[in-house]
Amino acid sequence: MRIAILTNEYPPHIYGGAGVHVNYLTKELAALDGGRHQIEVLCFGEQQETEANIRVQGLRVDFPFPSQGPQSKKLLDTIFRNVLMTGTLKDADLIHCHTWYTHLAGCLLKQLLGKPLVLTTHSLEPHRPWKEEQLGSGYHVSTWMEKTAYENADGVIAVSRSMEKDVQELYRVPPDKIRIIYNGIDVEQYQPTFRPEVLRGYGIDPERPYILFVGRITHQKGIMHLLRAAEYLRDGVQVVLCATDPDTEELGLEVDRHIDELQAQNGREIIHVSSFVPMEDIIPLYSQAAVFVCPSIYEPFGIINLEAMACGTPVVATAVGGIKEVVAPRETGILVPLIHPCPGDHAPQAAGALARDLAAAINSLLADPEKRRIMGQKARKRVEELFSWRGVARQTLDFYEEIIENNN
């Protein structure tokens, strides 16, 4: 089978769960059936690689073009790359798009090549209204492109039951076109790893407990809710934020201000790692954390929770989206209910309640090391049993074959 993978993120340019997904899925698809399938990856970047049966071609826009301003320029840059993708791909048996960043190219190639289109639901634009801060009115264009792609797709992979429900409600995708295939984790790579010297290198005291957050600085990931919760945490706990890539400069400054206030007024020890943490370091950070915290207000799946669980660390997370299918409540962590509609950063009463609930859940685990130990063991076992990239790839390939057969 000749499979075309269209994606914004691909190594070395990965900044979110979609990129992690594409990286592992591509490798595992290429390894199936003795490497008989040809994978062509078109991505945003400068990559030009060929290895065995995987060919990767990065596409970039290196010429000036007019725009209405910085926000529309980002959108138009994406559209230009989609046009380049459309002209670059000469043939394939199936086109698989990841995120709205490649949906225009997917729709065009479906018509030009007459081949089926598959989408994976890493997120959905109508559920991320804060994206308008980044794209301005371009957000309405990204939503329109996403809607058009789902209306034209021959198959949709939902990374959770929650996402299956969402694509049916938002875009009226027929149930027979949807297949639920969870994200996966490399359990050989992500496993309990204890290296105190790595913690010291980031300014973390390995002799004292710390809670860990890993994610982009975006409203979606709920970092402001965690900072509010930090006011109510037990004395002596370190708060480690591996938080990068603010959606906007204003949001980044707001996070910095809140951290400064917590340190000045509450004496809270907050360690903000604002640069990318390589895998060889993030695994020890996951492994030695007392609690991993995922305060997202929107999370289609949440690969980061799998990463922490694979490292034997219990999770405190908001009970939203696919998180409810990853974290087993009271077994591998604690799920904190989210008040609906989702509390935004400008809804102080709802946000305050969420902060106190998060803090209460975190404090309950900090107070009970034995409970944390048992939860961590169960977390590792759950990941080993249910979430494997090889299994994800096999289910995906089976879905491809079904779609191709239905389109012949």
DSSP character string of 7-28: ES-BTTB--SHHHHHHHHHHHH
Beta bridge partners of 96: 5, 118
Question: So what's the pLDDT on residue 67?
Answer: 85
> Which tokens in the block code for residue 281?
């370091």
What contacts 260, CB < 8 A, 6 or more positions away? Answer: none
Q: How large is the average pLDDT for residues 137-146? A: 91
Closest CA relative to residue 250, chosen from 125, 133, 128: 133
Task: List strand residue ranges (DSSP E) for 297-345, in order.
Answer: 315-318, 333-336
Assigned CATH class of 196-386: alpha beta
Least confident of 47-61, 120-134, 155-169, 376-390: 120-134
Least confident of 20-29, 44-53, 130-139, 385-394: 130-139
What would the DSSP string read from start to end of 140-173?
HHHHHHHHHHHHH-SEEEESSHHHHHHHHHHH--
Fold of 2-184+388-407: Rossmann fold (3.40.50)
What contacts 307, CB < 8 A, 6 or more positions away? Answer: 185, 190, 214, 282, 286
Query: What are 246-286's pLDDT values in tens digits?
Result: 988 999 999 999 999 999 877 889 999 999 999 999 999 99
Question: So what's the pLDDT on residue 350?
Answer: 64
Least confident of 141-150, 234-243, 264-273, 287-296: 264-273
**pLDDT of 342 higher than 50:** no
Closest CA relative to residue 333, chosen from 292, 284, 289: 292
Question: So what's the pLDDT on residue 251?
Answer: 92
Indicate the pLDDT class of residue 134, thresholds 50, 70 and 90: confident
Do 196-386 and 2-184+388-407 have the same topology in CATH?
yes
Question: So what's the pLDDT on residue 346?
Answer: 46
Question: So what's the pLDDT on residue 340?
Answer: 52
Q: How large is the average pLDDT for residues 45-59? A: 96
Question: So what's the pLDDT on residue 128?
Answer: 82
Q: Which tops the pLDDT comparison, 116 or 70? A: 116
Question: So what's the pLDDT on residue 16?
Answer: 82
Question: So what's the pLDDT on residue 341?
Answer: 47
Chain-centre distance for alpha carbon 283: 17
Q: Which tops the pLDDT comparison, 111 or 70? A: 111
Give, in order, the Cα–Cα distances in Å from 146 to each of 9, 104, 123, 308: 17, 8, 10, 31
Q: Where are the alpha helices (DSSP H) in 136-273?
A: 138-152, 161-171, 196-201, 223-230, 249-261
Domain ranges of the chain: 2-184+388-407, 196-386
Burial 296-328 (b: 16+ CB within 10 A, else e): bbbbbbbbbbbbbbbbbbbbbbbebbbbbbbbb
* 293 within 8 A of 226, measured Cβ to Cβ: yes
Closest CA relative to residue 185, chosen from 352, 312, 349, 2: 312
Q: How large is the average pLDDT for residues 190-201? A: 97
Indicate the pLDDT class of residue 69, thresholds 50, 70 and 90: confident
